[in-house]
Structure 1
Amino acid sequence: MSTTATPADWQTRPAPTGTQGWIDRAAEVAAVLATDAAARDRAGATPHAEVRLLKDSGLVTLLGPVQHGGGGQDWPTAYRVVREVAKADGSIAQLLGYHYLWNWAARLVGTREQWEQVEAEAARRQWFFGGAVNPRDRDVVVRDEGDTLVFTGRKTFSTGSRVSDVTVLEGVLDGTDQHVFAIVPSDSQGLTFHDDWDNIGQRLTESGSVTIDGVRVPWASAAGYVDKQFQPRVYNTLNVPTIQLVFANFYLGIAAGALETAATYTRTKSRSWLHGGYEQAVDEPYVIDAYGDLTAKLWAAEALADRIAEEGQRLHDDPDAVTARSRGEFEVRVAAVKARATDVALEVTHRIFEVTGARATAAAEGLDRFWRNVRTHTLHDPVAYKRREVGRFVLTDEIPEPTWYS
């Protein structure tokens, strides 16, 4: 891969083919993002230019059908791409990973006619997806008005909000317990994104709240509904392990970026301890040991993540064959990698300061952003409950009941 590639080069070169080609393209995107990642994190501006970069590079349409301009790639490749981008910018990797899930949501939940139409339009028009689907809030109410559904309510979080072209809405059909998903233009009348995301990490994810005030959607756009009746499949519930693998991979990507950035700092700026007897920091035994320890842990977690991604792809390849058991066993495996990725990423991103030294805490270095990003998102749902899923499976052969978090 050329390390001097620029966005302009993408217009004159053929689209990547195969997993490695797309990972190389993601690395080029990461190289662009890395040039000012710390400064952009401090500024916290809406990442319009960064999303444009994802579109121009082709990463946005990675999973889209080739005949409509998409990359035609699979989920294991998408996870690796997310991980690569996260090395430079965890926020933009989260946006991209969530986009992949919401783009795929039509296939998870919708009828074949619906998802084929959505995926074709998304690839042709390079839609960037956001989602107003935070399950911890009171559900948005959906009223049935004949041929139209009307969504009304509020969500605390809506990742992608102001940089998205389309938004996935979710609510409960009034008077029932039936959930309804629909994709709407992000500039729809009644959809208001609030500029209130002000957290210590993942600062560029546009994850603020959203007000949904009478957003009207044709019944035909209600994912998975035929004649106002939902057509359930076990595959519908694969959204949780799929997005949890997105989480694990951008945690690991952030950790890898932290380790690479720290290693460069150690080689070029760190000073050896004056009483240690070594001329260079890279010769300090404790520094060498720490890098070896952290790298071994990261490599092991990455290998586990890749293995489980391949297992998940087999379910995506044959959606109608997914059973409660195969889905449950996959969820347990995903829970295991989520727990490992969380622990490894937190350890890497805080221990890098032990091997870079006091001067590395300068705000200008921006090393703190790696820990802040991981710490912020790993609170999404308690990792103890992920370990519990694994433990219950081992001890009693119990598979997790599908919920918004399992």
Structure 2
Amino acid sequence: MSTVAPSDWSTRPAPEGPDGWIGRATEVAAVLATDAVARDRAGATPYAEVQLLKDAGLVTLLGPTAHGGAGQDWPTAYRVVREVAAADGSIGQLLGYHYLWNWAARLVGTREQWEQVEAEAARQRWFFGGAVNPRDKDVVVRDEGETLVFSGRKSFSTGSRVSDVTVLEGVLERTDDHVFAVVPSDSDGLVFHDDWDNIGQRLTESGSVTLDEVRVPWAAAAGYVDKEFRPRVYNTLNVPTIQLVFAHFYLGIAAGALETAAVYTRTKARSWLHGGHERAVDEPYVLDAYGDLTAKLWAAEALADQVSAEGQRLHEDPDAVTERDRGAFEVRVAAVKARATDVALEVTNRIFEVTGARSTAAAEGLDRFWRNVRTHTLHDPVAYKRREVGRFRLTGDLPEPTWYS
């Protein structure tokens, strides 16, 4: 992979404010775009890509400034994810998940816990992965006095081998209580399997993981005090936060697809021999399609940005978040997720209508955008997101917090 030498960024002042950091993400995207097709085809573990994110300072975007982080907010983080995903959907997903799992200490943990995790993560430039697939309930956590022992298997673990630390989740033995903990990714008993072989998001390192007697001190159990969990409504914002991450990298992939297609249309596409136009860019149906897709994408991006700003207000005062605040935000996120899914699938599919038969050549790599969106949008059925919005519209009912709502 082509890389930017760390000195290229380290010798320049750090970006200032959201626009500066979004600009930095655009620079990273430009590097990733140079060989995105080849890297997608190779499917190699993205060590260099994650190092690029670290060198550019994007990994510590949300980290406290006192410990070397950029101190930016979630709307900026979402936009950064969108920029990166436009060049490489896999790396956009990895970065978005990293932000969520880094923030998970604040969402779930005590103040002492999250301050310690965030400070260390910023100082060490940790890259986070997560073994937290909620549909797998076969990780059991055993209490051994001062120690917790995680054992079992998760079928997905995004970030796996490229992560420095991993968020583990399991159920405390003989209870229904879930336990989260951050552990080094090279912990004894934590084994990542190289079995992610899906049609899209090929570089996300999302294969299965085995937990064989992974030992964690009780003090690391997020949100627990004296072995009792201290619940807050804010704990449940993990789902709408990650669902917004999904929506933003879907829109980023769609934007990348549309721009890549536009370049192809301008430079390689041929007009239809019976259309009466010398250039493809003058074909009425081509202009109509680009106008239609661009308008839909812009509308979805605007909605995503608005809802991201609404969520930031909840993050700024976690102790004040009420169940109604949380539920109303989840409905808005559900609407974004539904729109982003539909728009991204339409854009990544219809670009072939305006690029032509020759654009399906493997060397062009236009299929990767659709494969990436199609793969991840199956994470949870979008019909259930529309159901949340429809129920709120008809009855005023807000969704109850679950692993997916």
Question: Same fold, TM exceeding 0.5?
Answer: yes
Give the letter for the 2:151 counterpart.
T
2:49 matched to which residue of 1? 50
**Partner secondary structure for residue 191 of structure 2:** strand
Structure 1 position 138, deviation (Å): 2.0
Deviation at 1:17, TM superposition (A): 1.3
Q: Distance in 2 between matches of 1:13 and 1:231?
A: 44
Query: What residue in structure 1 maps to residue 18 of structure 2?
Result: 19
2:260 is aligned with 1:236: no
Q: Find the residue that maps to 2:183 and give its secondary structure.
A: strand
Is 2:201 the partner of 1:202?
yes
CA contact (8 A) 2:137 2:171 kept: no
TM-superposed CA distance for 1:136, in Å, is 1.0
Q: Give the equivalent residue in structure 2 for 1:78.
A: 77
Amino acid aligned to 2:332: R
Match of 1:297 in 2: 296
Structure 2: segments with no counterpart, 5+ residues? none
The residue correspondences of 1:119-198 to structure 2 (distance < 5 A) are: 119-198=118-197
Instruction: State the 1:43 CA deviation.
Output: 0.1
Query: Alpha-carbon deviation of 1:139?
Result: 3.6
Q: How many residues are treated as equivalent by the alignment? A: 403
Query: What CA distance in whole angstroms lies between the structure 2 residues aligned with 1:250 and 1:344?
Result: 12
Aligned to 2:359: 360
Corresponding residue number in structure 2 for 1:350: 349
**Which residue number corresponds to residue 401 of structure 2?**
402
The residue aligned with 1:90 is 89
Displacement of 1:235: 0.2
Aligned partner letter, 1:183: V
SS at match of 1:350: helix
Superposed displacement of residue 225, structure 1: 0.5
Distance 1:6 1:30, change over 3 A: farther
Correspondence list, 1:215-230, <5 A: 215-230=214-229
Contact 1:6–1:28 (Cα < 8 Å) also in 2: no
Q: Which residue number corresponds to residue 261 of structure 1?
A: 260
Provide runs of 4+ in structure 1 moved above 4 Å. 4-7
Q: Report the secondary structure of 1:13's partner residue.
A: coil
Matches of 2:234 and 2:275, distance apart in 1: 58
Tell me the percent identity.
86
Matched residues in 2 for 1:330 and 1:7: separation?
Answer: 39
Shift of 1:11: 1.2
CA distance in structure 2 between the partners assigned to 1:7 and 1:380 by the alignment: 35
Amino acid corresponding to residue 205 of structure 1 in structure 2: T
* Counterpart residue type for residue 156 of structure 1: S
Gaps of 5+ in 1: none
Distance (whole Å) between structure 1 residues aligned to residue 4 and residue 197 of structure 2 = 34
Contact 1:79 1:246 in 2 (8 A): yes
Kept in 1, the 8 Å contact 2:90–2:204? The answer is yes
**CA shift at 1:6, angstroms?**
6.3
CA deviations 1:254-277 (Å, max 9, x no partner) are 000000000000000000000001
Match of 1:9 in 2: 8
CA contact (8 A) 2:30 2:87 kept: yes
d(CA) in 1 for partners of 2:292 and 2:396? Answer: 33
* Structure 2 counterpart of 1:283: 282
Question: Which residue identity does 2:347 align to in structure 1?
Answer: V
Q: Is the 8 A contact 1:5 1:28 kept in 2?
A: no
Q: Distance in 1 between matches of 2:228 and 2:14?
A: 41
Counterpart residue number, 1:330 = 329
In 1: Cα distance, 2:119 partner to 2:34 partner: 34
